[in-house]
Amino acid sequence: MEPLNDRELNQILQEWRPPATPSSLGRIPPRMPWWRWLLVGTIRIPVPVGVAMLAGMALLLFFMASGRKQPALSESPRQVSLKPVRVVSLADFQPVNQLQPRIIGRANEGN
């Protein structure tokens, strides 16, 4: 099939006509005030930054939660120390009258 020449192409390209500009585009869009941007504005965050922020928040929450538990753990030894301490007296401690050493050979180690 023979391709179009320059003149034919230019002529045919002009057949593609755009629609009229819509009347809704009749005035310049108003600039958004800064306080309105705080209510309806959006920002784009790159995925790695978003993931890092979420991970940071998760870690922060984790450490905050574990930080609350720590006082409870440190209280437990104090509770133990409050128990009455048994006093051991050495008054009845007597040395043995006679030492009876037994020599056990390697063969009778189990006995």
Partner 1 sequence: MTEAEITAAFGQHKDAVYRFAWRMTRSPSAAEDIAQEVFLSLLTHPERFRGERGTLRAFLLGTARNISLKRWREQNRWDPLEDHDFVAQPLDPEGQEIGEYVAGAIALLPLLQRETLILAEYEGLTLEEIAHAVHAEVGTVKSRLHRARENLRRMLAPLKPVNRSCTWNR
Among 7, 13, 68, 81, which residue sits at the site for partner 1 (rule: CB under 8 A)?
Answer: 13
51 binds partner 1 (CB under 8 A): no
Q: Does 3 bind partner 1 (CB under 8 A)?
A: yes
Distances (CA, A) of 94 to 50, 87, 99, 100, 102: 75, 18, 13, 16, 21
Residue 11 or 53: the one with the smaller Cβ distance to partner 1 is: 11
Which residues are CB-neighbours of 45 under 8 A, at least 6 positions away?
A: 53
CA 64 to chain centre: 11
The two structure tokens encoding residue 43: 């920002």
Minimal distance in Å, beta carbon 41 to partner 1?
13
Chain residues that interact with partner 1, rule: CB under 8 A: 1-6, 8-10, 12-13, 15-19, 21-22, 24-25, 27-29, 31
